[in-house]
Chain A
Amino acid sequence: MKNYKNVIAAYSIMIFLIILVGIFQSWSIALTILNYCLISAVMTIGANIQWGYAGLINFGIMGYTALGGLAVVLVSVEPVKKAWQVGGLNILACIWIIVAIIFVVKFILNRFNKSKLRNYSVASVILGGIILLRVTATPGIEAIESVDPAKTGFLGGMGLPVLFSWIFGALLAGSLAFIIGKIALGLRADYLAIATLLIAEIIVSIIKHEEWLARGVKNVIGLKRPAPYEIDLQTSGWFIDLVAKFNSSKLNLINSISDKQEALNQMVIDASSVYVKLCFTGLFLTVVIILLIVTQKALYSPWGRKMRAIRDNEEAASAMGKNIVKEHLLIFILGSAIVGLAGAMMVTNDGLFTPGSYRPMRYTFVIWVMVIVGGTGNNFGAILGGFVVWFLWVEAAPIALFLINLLTSHLPETNAVRVHLIESAPYFRFLVIGIGLLLIMRYRPQGIIPEKIIKQ
């Protein structure tokens, strides 16, 4: 228990801060922050597996998050039958063409020896395939995008319950990570960072501009939810009774019946939003706890020891007969799959998929700051990092505004400096995160909760 004293202390402070937000701002805001903290925690677990366990630097987190979000659309949205009728055949044909290209290229690479002729033939197969793809795809895509473009204009999904999409998101991200890992994992650390950063940009730009897939920048709204809708709650009897029971002492103070009804209505509206968010919190918390148990077990298993050995000294591990390439690929896939899961969770929480909002700042670098600040190689630390950094990211602007008002209170309201500073309050979050990262890197490079090696 003594070992975990600082962990417990750090988490208590975090919970206390969120409760403070609940008291001073509102419970709805506090729960929103908590939900995002939990989603960030899942992302940091994914990033921590790659960086903390294996020392792989993956700046492509944005791409996997976006793929997880795409999975929600592909799984939960009802299929658009008309779009399938007009253009489904072309899209299916395209998939077969892609498969065929891959097999032909593989065949040529395996069958013939390295030569100029082989290179040219591979290039010509790929080029010819791309031209064939365009010829096949263009009429189909045009037909699909013209099906009721204001509402659909895309193929839709499978119409399954939304929770399946969490698994599908993880699978999708994992399989992409397999391809990227095959391409990029041989690179040195900082090249890997740049390569993954750029590949993530390619993925997001494809999701943004292929409107037949998920409406692109036109966004998909009104996604399914694993939790009840506020409107349904507000009209169901058991929920109103529950709210009345909870607030009976407050309600009893009001004498007139119409006032009482009005107060109750307001309470039901507030309570319904809190209830929905609590449902999400429960779901997310379950995911975080399951992941934490699994990753913690893995970290202290023989496999985890092997990963640490590879991280700390590749040559020595390789000399002991460990297959470094294979293990790196495996951990790259696992970590990316967890990030994909988090992406799916986030889109489910928001109820809408907005490809335009995926930016490397928010979805790659902030997540990395979380891992570094929290503690690399330690899952409790990574999760705490997710909480702390997300909390700062959201609350930095209000806190900065408060401080600016306090420090410039002697200046008149119209003072140019004061007005300018108040207008730029939202950007203080970058300053807080950046300086926080620099300070942690300098004075506590292992993070708030450092990695602990348990001798077994």
Chain B
Amino acid sequence: MNKRRLVLEDGTVMDGIGFGYQGEVNGEMIFNTGMTGYEHVLSDPSYCGQLVVMTSPKISTNGINQSDCVSSYMNGLIVKDYGNSPNRSQDAKDLNSFLLDQQIPGLANIDTRMLTKHIRQFGTLKGSIVDADTPIDMTIKKLKSVKDSSDHVQKVSTQKPYVIPGKGANIVIIDLGMKHSILKELTARDCQVTVVPYNYSADQILQLKPDGILISSGPGNPKNLPETIATIQQLPRHIPVFGIGLGHQVMALALGADTEKMLNGHHGNNYPVKDLLKQKSYMTSQNHLYSVSRNSLRNTDLEITHIGLNEDSIEGLRHKSYSYFSVQFQPEGKPGPEDMHYLYDEFLIKIQHHQAKNEEDVYAEKY
């Protein structure tokens, strides 16, 4: 057995058994409460740089389906137990070899409930997965000296633009760490999609003549993305823009609101959100550590469209006059509920309206 341990910056030490990659690693501690879809968690770039604790006691009972999970950006995975999935299907991998391939350390045999409670109480501490014989003092010292990294999006965003052809609306996705499933939602609706890097300029985007722009979810602090914020500010107001997750935060910043770091953030599949326009609540899948501050909305043209029922958090915004709207949660699920799929439809409806209106305008100008 491979004895390894988790050391937190506040001195907490938990012994476990290492699996996957055996290197030393540190990161921000967060916990995810989802009971299904750990593959989607693994592959979601939003977890870049984090040590993810799964509260579900057994992860990977049936192996990793390669189509759900190609690569992972998280720094480490901490579980109570994981399966070696002896009966996975042929195209599936077991978790241990996946993490090994991805060079991600795993730590098992941890009292994850105890750890979760600790994180809940003390916020997102930094932690490190090390070998059992590594001196604890040294590890803590190291952890304290580690600076919050600000380049997560740079790491996970696409380097070059690419196109997925389609017959429908022409959509540009600004990739801040896009989940593949966001792309799928649009291609399933026949869109022509161009995925562009986080630092693509407004001009470059407009050259693509988009009918609509989607700012994707992604990892880290939105304030680390001044280029993206500037881009959004330079976009013409008439093109519909849809922000998701980090994209929602970046949009809010661009439109004059402020964001703040949360104590624990939201990571899981069971966050109830009320759609204030429909006056109806739904379950959502979320993973974010930052949120838009309510007070900062006062002097903006943004209005709240969605609130979280657990903590009255801001979960969705729209611009009072532009066709801009955004949500903090992941309407595509994967993992998690697909209750708010309709937001993608609404995005396309907005585009249609806008196109129709444009035609009218053109007509009016002509005659």
Does A associate with B in a complex?
no
B-side residues, CB < 8 A to A, are: none
